[in-house]
Amino acid sequence: MQEIAGNSWYWFVLIGLIGGTLSGSLGVGAGMFVVPALVFGLGFQQKAAQGTCLAVMVPMAMMAAYRYHVNPDIKLNWTVILMLIPCAVAGAVLGSSIAAWLPAPVLRRAFGVFAILAGARFLIYG
């Protein structure tokens, strides 16, 4: 279990607010911010940070999706959503199994490569 310093609560508040804001406004997984903040900022182990972030994402994503759903200017395609859900759940099972098997340094590097490639794609192609 991750040790938590008694006076670090405000860092969790800040990380949660920033992660939720980025996720809700940009549609990115909060993990792009939360995982590095927990690992490098608060000393979490890589896998503990990933698991913590995933647990936080469920209620956060549900709230953000609801807010998008009730916005009359945004039309969600429920056929696409319903096709993606079972595949995403299966992918999450597979991905978490892979993460449990891979060493933490490999996960950190894979995370970094993914972040760089995704960022470069958005910067280049808008």
Residue 2 covered by a domain: no
* Domain extent for 121: 9-125
* pLDDT of 2 above 70: no
CA distance 105 to 11: 24
**Model-level pTM?**
0.79
Residue 52, CA distances (Å) to 15, 39, 104, 118, 119 in order = 12, 11, 15, 22, 23
Residue 36 covered by a domain: yes
Residue type, 84: L
CA distance 116 to 74: 29
Please state the domain count of the chain. Answer: 1
Residue 3 covered by a domain: no
Specify the pLDDT at position 75. 94
The string of pLDDT tens digits covering residues 42-87 is: 999 999 999 999 999 989 989 999 999 999 999 999 999 999 999 9
The string of pLDDT tens digits covering residues 105-126 is: 999 999 899 889 988 998 998 7
